[in-house]
Amino acid sequence: MADQVTVDPQALTASSGVAKTLAEEVDQPVKDALTSATTAAGQLTGWSIAAGLGKLGTDWKAPLDALKKRLTDTGTNLQASATAHAHNEQATADAWKQPQKAAQ
């Protein structure tokens, strides 16, 4: 039995939209959480927990920014793949519409 690969450009486009939406939706809650951690750390100056809380906000910024970028890049790449596959399908269909010359 031969392996068969099927690509659905519409599914790739839909997945692209989901990834980009997730990147947008995660942005504000992440900013709010990091701001809250920093604000709380400032308000707890003198408490033993203040430094740890401030570090929590600082240390999580880079990984959460990387997550947002990865989701955005994934969405962009899925859309590019969908576009390329759709173009390829159309180019193949158009090639078959052209009259073929007989082999001599």
**Extents of the domains making up the chain:** 27-82
- Residue 90 pLDDT: 86
For residue 21, pLDDT beyond 60: yes
Buried b / exposed e along 20-55 (16+ C-beta atoms within 10 A): bebbeeeeeebeeebeebbebbeeeeeeeeeeebbe
pLDDT of residue 1: 53
Confidence label for 43 from pLDDT (cuts 50, 70 and 90): very high
pLDDT band at residue 5, thresholds of 50, 70 and 90?
confident
Q: What are phi and psi of 102, to 5 degrees?
A: -70, 140
pTM over the 0.85 mark = no
pLDDT for 68 equals: 95
